[in-house]
Amino acid sequence: MENTPIKPQINNNNLDKGYSLLALLQIINIVLYSQFTQYGMDSLGTGSNTQSNTITTYYPFFKDVHVMIFVGFGFLMTFLHKYSFSSIGFNFLLACLSLQYSILINGFFHNLFEDHWENITLDIQSLITGDFAAGTILISFGAILGKVDGWALIIMTLFELVFYAINESIGVIKYKAVDMGGSMYVHTFGAFFGLAVSYINHSSTKHRNSNFVSTKNSDLFAMIGTLFLWIYWPSFNGALASGNSQHRVVINTVLALSNSCIFAFISSKLLRKKNKFNMVDIQNATLSGGVAVGSSADLVIGPYASLIIGAVAGTWSVIGYTYISPLLEKRFGIYDTCGVLNLHGMPGIIGGLGGFISSATASKNLYGENLGIIFEGISDGRSNVDQGLYQLAALGTTLGISIGGGLITGLIVKKANKDIEYGEDKENWHEV
């Protein structure tokens, strides 16, 4: 009697309806792109200069930022030894969703806040801003890594993009606050939003398992992400800068990054048990200088100031991983899987304060005729002190919207989330 192959039985009741809904959302997304977006003039060759070098200027930076989002962030989160498929896989998915949807959502809110309705222009700059939004989402993803299922992450992404767009529109359009490297709008916002979502969705009993540890191999994979991020960070901070500002961004960011690396090693050696380096510090605190210098990277802060910012950020980040994160877990039940508070949140606040100081001390002696170009608010009649206060207002607004929006989104995510085992790929993937 011949053996007949057994056909796999598909249980329709077990199909994840969330991803069917995602397919529907993508159809709607295609319709929205067809009705409300258009190519920029450079794409159509209809500009004043048909030989425009826009793509020559911006595309190399876009590629660098793209590597950071898809390779850097993805590998940085592979330290959980049983969650590496999910770390890289969901990083890939959420980044693509964020890139597409943020262009529409940001475009809508910019039209709303400017009260000037027109189609959204698609060019290399808009793709870069889409990657910035993706970076914000991935920072938040790091705070809840291993604790919610894929569909709940998609829900978080869609809601966070709305809050992100509102905050960014207030900061850029209403406050005219300068934040070239996204210290406030990207890093601070993403960190505190993710912490708020994590606070609502965390189960301390589920967290106490062997999945939330790393191995030597998983830490080595995570270091791949660190090195990609460290190398390409000047492009993230300077992708949308122009002229002399772009030169300052690269110089200031490299100096800050190099010093945050040095002081991360120093602090880790001095503060950790047995005076040995801790790989968590080296994977993360070494990057904090790039975050902290972001708001003032394009400003004339002086090379020495970049070094100071890097030293403070690297040291403070290690202090966060060593003392602050354990305290938040024990006292307040705030569990931050990737330590985004220490890499993005606190350095982002340092960056926001640096932007305040740099703006409040800005003068024509430093910037010449470029003062009004760099600080749009000053060109509209503000004093440099007033501009500094608006920078502080942007930082405060970012903290308020990110925490409030994160708590609201956290409650929605909690209803959408499945009861899963924390830190396990098997919840979402066929394992080899």
Q: Under 8 Å CB-to-CB from 226, ≥6 apart: which residues?
A: 72, 76, 282, 283, 284, 286, 287
Give pLDDT, residue 2: 46
Give pLDDT, residue 13: 42
Beta strands in 89-160 (DSSP E): 120-122
3-state DSSP assignment of residue 210: coil
**8 DSSP β-pair partners:** none
Query: What would the DSSP string read from start to end of 308-343?
Result: HHHHHHHHHHHHIIIIIHHHIIIII----TT-HIII
Terminal-to-terminal C-alpha distance of the chain: 33
Cα separation, 250 vs 236, whole angstroms: 10
3-state DSSP assignment of residue 120: strand
Cα separation, 25 vs 233, whole angstroms: 33
Give pLDDT, residue 92: 98
CA 57 centroid distance within chain: 23
Cα separation, 360 vs 307, whole angstroms: 20
Tens place of pLDDT per residue across the chain (432 aa) = 445 444 444 444 444 678 899 999 999 999 999 999 999 888 776 655 544 567 888 999 999 999 999 999 999 999 999 999 999 999 999 999 999 999 999 999 999 999 999 999 999 999 999 999 999 999 999 999 999 999 999 999 999 999 999 999 999 999 999 999 999 999 999 999 999 999 999 877 766 677 888 999 999 999 999 999 999 999 999 999 987 889 999 999 999 999 999 999 999 999 999 999 999 999 999 999 999 999 999 988 999 999 999 999 999 999 999 999 999 998 988 999 999 999 999 999 999 999 999 999 888 787 877 787 788 888 888 999 999 999 999 999 999 999 999 999 999 999 988 888 888 998 888 875
Phi, psi for residue 269 in degrees, rounded to 5: -65, -40
Q: Does domain 56-419 have CATH number 1.10.3430.10?
A: yes
What is the pTM (predicted TM-score) of this model?
A: 0.93
Cα separation, 137 vs 158, whole angstroms: 9
Closest CA to 172 of 239, 107, 124, 225: 107
Q: Is 161 within 8 Å of 401 (Cβ atoms)?
A: no
Give pLDDT, residue 295: 93
Closest CA to 145 of 229, 77, 217, 75: 77
